[in-house]
Structure 1
Amino acid sequence: MREIKHIVIHCTATVAGKKFTAKDIDLWHKERGWKGIGYHYVIGLDGTIEEGRPEYKIGAHVKGHNRNSIGIVYVGGLNKRLSPKDTRTRKQKRALRELLSILREKYPQARILGHRDFSTDINKNGIIEPFEFIKACPCFDARKEYCNL
């Protein structure tokens, strides 16, 4: 059994309002040469939670941290000008909170983080600041938003 240390939130980096499913993401990841979808869960625009890769399998969503993490992705993350933006719908926010609560019960020691929280602290001040993000994903501060779960 895997020791889960992180629950990592991602966005699909797609334009707000465009519908995509776990099947679409599975195809994108296979086109990149992966074995299949790298995320364990996908949250659609309507709040539907789809299973991606089974939890018992190592994901493919945060380089160097997949062995001990669960990956969740919400559909969206870009505005109409293709700039990073928190585009989560109310239904996505509700579904994400519910899923995170379930996963925290299952993995109480796991920290909830965004993909961007795995960036390097370039100036070594102990804080990963926006200018240091390797990615904006998930386009909101997941660590802060879900610190009380």
Structure 2
Amino acid sequence: MPPLGPIRFLTIHCAATPEGRDVPAEKISAWDTARFGQVSYHYVIELDGSVHATLPDTFKGAHVGGANTGNVGVCYVGGVDKAGKPKDTRTPAQSAALRKLVETYRARIPDLIVRGHRDWPGVAKACPSFDVAAWLAQAA
């Protein structure tokens, strides 16, 4: 696997799985391996807030087309309603775990840029189905 390079970004994603559907991190990684030939995300956060390291942050993931170098990918299970429309479905446990993970990386890398997948140029998806900048500002 190619090396990640110096970390400059952390990108938040959703799995685009229906609200409340309990999908284990291993399943998300298997889907990505089948589609992209490798694990996409460095971390997957399950409904109960458990954080699963699925790819060492020394290796490049496959989560933002053309922008994976130096970019840690974090995915939460959920992100769409029962009809498949984008919705912030994070459980309180997922939100807390995500915030703690972002804070851990920011402590290590003070100039870290945190974005949602949809915030990258050329991305026409709702992922992660919430406004990452507004969410981050709530904690400031």
TM-score where L is the length of structure 1: 0.86
Report how far residue 33 of structure 1 moved.
4.2
Q: 1:93-122: per-residue Cα shift (whole Å, max 9, x none)?
A: 0111111110111121111100000134xx
Tell whether 2:125 aligns with 1:135: yes
- Residue 70 of structure 2 is matched in structure 1 by 68
Deviation readout 1:20-52 (Å, 9 max, x if unpaired) = 1221012101221412x2100010000000001
Counterpart contact for 2:33–2:40, Cα < 8 Å: no
Give the letter for the 2:77 counterpart.
V
CA-atom RMSD, angstroms?
1.5
C-alpha separation in 2, matches of 1:119 and 1:2 = 21
Is the 2:61–2:73 contact (alpha carbons within 8 Å) kept by the matching residues of 1? yes
Looking at structure 2, the residues matched to 39 and 18 of structure 1 have their Cα atoms a distance apart, in angstroms, of: 19
- The amino acid that maps onto 1:21 is P
Task: Determine the structure 2 residue equivalent to 1:85.
Answer: 87
Describe the shift of the 1:33–1:58 C-alpha distance in structure 2 as closer, same or farther (beyond 3 A): closer
Identity fraction in percent:
40
Give the gaps of 5 or more residues in structure 2: none
Q: How does 1:38-53 map to 2 (within 5 A)?
A: 38-53=40-55
Runs of 4+ in 1 over 6 A off after TM superposition: none
1:21 paired with 2:11, answer: no
Q: Distance in 2 between matches of 1:26 and 1:138?
A: 17
Gaps of 5+ in 1: 121-132
Deviations 1:69-128 (A, max 9, x none): 1000000001011100000000000111111110111121111100000134xxxxxxxx
